[in-house]
Chain A
Amino acid sequence: MEDVRPEGGAGDKYSLIVPTYNERLNIALVVYLVFKHLRDVDFEIIIVDDGSPDGTQDVVKQLQQVYGDDRILLRARPRKLGLGTAYSHGLKHASGNFVVIMDADLSHHPKYLPQFIKKQQETGASIVTGTRYVKGGGVHGWNLMRKLTSRGANVLAQTFLWPGVSDLTGSFRLYRKSVLEDLINSCVSKGYVFQMEMIVRASRKGYHIEEVPITFVDRVFGSSKLGGSEIVEYLKGLAYLLVTT
């Protein structure tokens, strides 16, 4: 894959919002990789930690010593308060005109950030979303069962929702800040259904959405957070979106 080096349009600043919970090791790795791949770009990383007991915030403070506390912002919360509110919280402190949301567990590799930026610049899109399900993208570390549920979920969503994107539950996205604010105010779901609601509402509102293939390596460190009740949650979310969007 050729090295993509965007310069960021004059005056463009990117705020990367990374919600964390017990990501002590991963957050350090993510920060290193972001700085490695976004050399000539004006950006800041906003880490929204929900009171991690494993010392994630201590590591973030060490990272601030290395990279500067103007580039790494720690905006913590007292306990687990959910993903959607983590984004709103991060957004309040974001000084960029573009916002990237990404996971802290290295499943979203920072090496794709230049491609997101370039795609946005080339197309003028309001949202650039990473997709794992097209050629050039991919997943590693999923067993057959996981692939089956993922594929089944995707077919259900495509058949009934016509969402306009190939990866509905993915959460590696670049938003124009004003667009993200609008969407967050319009969405009420929790958890990953929130991600689905955001992109479906964006599609319904006619925002220009582009896709970039990304590869997703599942859970190098830390425990997985996907279980059986997620399926029920997903179906309920799908029904909700069917009726309200």
Chain B
Amino acid sequence: MKHIVKIITLLVAISAMWIGLLEMSVVPRSQTWLLSIYFIVSLGCYGLLMVGIGLMHFPTCPQEAVLLQQDIVEAKHYLKQRGVDVGSE
């Protein structure tokens, strides 16, 4: 099943539930379109929240830059001795 089909199925299921609630007068008819608004707004908020959290906990590794520099020095030294051109650009 293509992914988009899964998503559409999910949306259809949610809409069906909402229509059910409308039919049963649990939700007043005047607020028919509220689901779409709720849905989009919550999705947006969820997205922003995830981005924010992710940004706060973005894993960084400054020590890796140092290690990399050491590796580069070691590599250049070894290769230069063996005739590989490692002059800087």
A interface residues (Cβ-Cβ under 8 A, vs B): 24-25, 28-29, 32-33, 54, 58-59, 62-63, 65-66, 106, 109, 132-141, 147-148, 151-152, 154-156, 158-162, 204, 215, 217, 220-222, 241-245
Contacts and interface: CB of A to CB of B under 8 A. Distances in A.
Contacts of B59: 132-139
A29 B72 contact: yes
B65 A155 contact: no
A29 B54 CA distance: 32
Given A62-B83, A106-B68, A148-B55, 10 more contacts: A28-B85, A58-B85, A66-B83, A66-B84, A147-B58, A148-B51, A151-B55, A215-B61, A215-B64, A242-B4
Nearest to B46: A159
Contact of B75 (A28, A62, A135, A141): A28
Contacts of A244: 2
Interface residues of B, number: 34
Contacts, number: 109
Question: Taking chain A's interface residues, is the majority helix, strand, or loop, or is none over half, making it mixed?
Answer: helix
A158 B43 CA distance: 13
B88 A217 contact: no
B50 interface: yes
B44 to A, nearest CB: 11
Which of A147, A151, A242 has the most CB atoms of chain B within a 10 A radius of its CB?
Answer: A151
